[in-house]
Amino acid sequence: MNWITRIKNASERIKSAIRRRATKSEISASKYISCHGVPTEKKIIEENNYVCPECNAHHFISPSQRFTMMFGENNWRKIDSPLVKDPDPYKWVDTKKYKDRLKEAKKNTGQDSAILSCEAKINDIDVVASAVNFKYIGGSISMDESENVLASIKTAIEKKCPYIFVSGSGGMRMMTNMLSLMQMTRMTIGINELKKNNLPYIVVIASPSTGGLQASICSTGDICIGEKNATMAFAGRRIVEATSQTDLPENFQTVEWQMEKGQVDIVLERKDIAPTIGTLLTILLKKNSVISTEQDETTENTQSLSKIA
């Protein structure tokens, strides 16, 4: 056996030893998911609000899935918002055309923009809610997303009801450059109008919540709720490590770490978020009071939520 044959045979053995990575379509079609090194049936995770019962990993859910979880199936109504005439003013092209990315995102998510908003009720209290879909170009924010937020705030002001914002974004959409960054100010002005009308604004931090959205309206909530283990940051961990040249704690930029620093009021399991918001709004708006007896007033849970409110 000459050296060429030996090299060829070794190459074949290496190829057979290396496990082929599954494609996205194969992963999507699989009945299993592995978030802690052991396969778990997707059905089990779905039945547990898309949270792994073994490792407590909170998997991605779309805005429509979240609204159904929070308000009940068919108990929320979508808010329509205007769309800009030209979403691609710079005619952006990187590895593909931006307009093609938009078409693909709309097809994959069934949404006109990265944000979906609705009218609903919690504890028989009218609310307006918005949620970001990370699968829509990384949940990035541009003109259409800002218009959606402003339309939702307008609806909340007209109905005189609280506004809930669920974040899950990579930041502002750089394909629209400065026009994207301008939306940080526009949305913040909208939130200020909400506050002028003395209406509660509750922010829920889902993973990941980063960049410009975190630097604007996600940091201005009256109450900030972190979904367990979610990432909450402005710049990425590697950038912070490189610029600060310091070793960062393991839980750096998690909502648990942010709560220690005072940026988050409370961290909750996904299943507990909607009930807690309902209780908080009951306290804030003094409606359908959950504090009906002296015994209720002394419970640890009610005292804790009253303090947050």
Total of domains in the chain: 2
Residue 17 domain-assigned? no
**Average pLDDT of the chain, as a whole number:** 88
Taking the CB of residue 214, how many other CB atoms lie within 10 A of it? Answer: 23
| Containing structural domain, residue 54 | 31-59
Q: What is the pLDDT of residue 34?
A: 77
Residue 266 domain-assigned? yes
Same domain (yes/no): 295, 157: yes
Tokens matching residue 298:
């002394």
Task: Give dist(CA 176, CA 159) in Å, integer.
Answer: 33
Checking if the pLDDT of 202 tops 80, the result is yes
Residue 107 domain-assigned? yes
What contacts 87, CB < 8 A, 6 or more positions away?
A: 99, 102, 142, 143, 144, 176
Nearest to 199 by CA among 153, 165, 160, 225: 160
- Range from 26-40, 143-157, 206-220, 290-304 carrying the lowest mean pLDDT: 290-304
- Give per-residue pLDDT as tens, 89-106: 999 999 999 999 999 999
Same domain (yes/no): 158, 225: yes
Same domain (yes/no): 40, 92: no
The number of angstroms, rounded, from the C-alpha of 206 to the middle of its chain's C-alpha atoms is: 4
Q: What is the pTM of this model?
A: 0.85
